[in-house]
Chain A
Amino acid sequence: DSGVTQTPKHLITATGQRVTLRCSPRSGDLSVYWYQQSLDQGLQFLIQYYNGEERAKGNILERFSAQQFPDLHSELNLSSLELGDSALYFCASSVGATGDTGELFFGEGSRLTVL
Chain B
Amino acid sequence: DQQVKQNSPSLSVQEGRISILNCDYTNSMFDYFLWYKKYPAEGPTFLISISSIKDKNEDGRFTVFLNKSAKHLSLHIVPSQPGDSAVYFCAASGGYYSGYALNFGKGTSLLVTP
Give chain A's interface residues, CB within 8 Å of chain B. Answer: 2, 4, 31, 33, 35, 40-45, 48, 50, 55-56, 58, 90, 92, 94, 97-99, 101-109
Contact = CB atoms under 8 A, between A and B. Distances in A.
Contacts of A106: 36, 43-45
Contacts of A109: 43
B45, B99, B105 — most chain A CB neighbours (10 Å) = B99
B107 A56 contact: no
B32 A101 contact: yes
Contacts of B106: 40-42
A102 B99 contact: no
Interface residues of B, number: 27
Contacts of A97: 99-100
B69 to A, nearest CB: 21
B42 interface: yes
B96 A48 contact: no
A8 B104 CA distance: 24
Top 7 nearest A-B pairs (CB, nearest first) are A99-B100, A56-B99, A106-B43, A42-B106, A43-B104, A55-B99, A102-B93
A42 B2 contact: yes
A22 B33 CA distance: 28
B24 to A, nearest CB: 13
B42 A58 contact: no
B49 interface: yes
Interface in B1-44: 2, 4, 6, 32, 34, 36, 41-44
Contact of A101 (B49, B89, B103, B105): B49
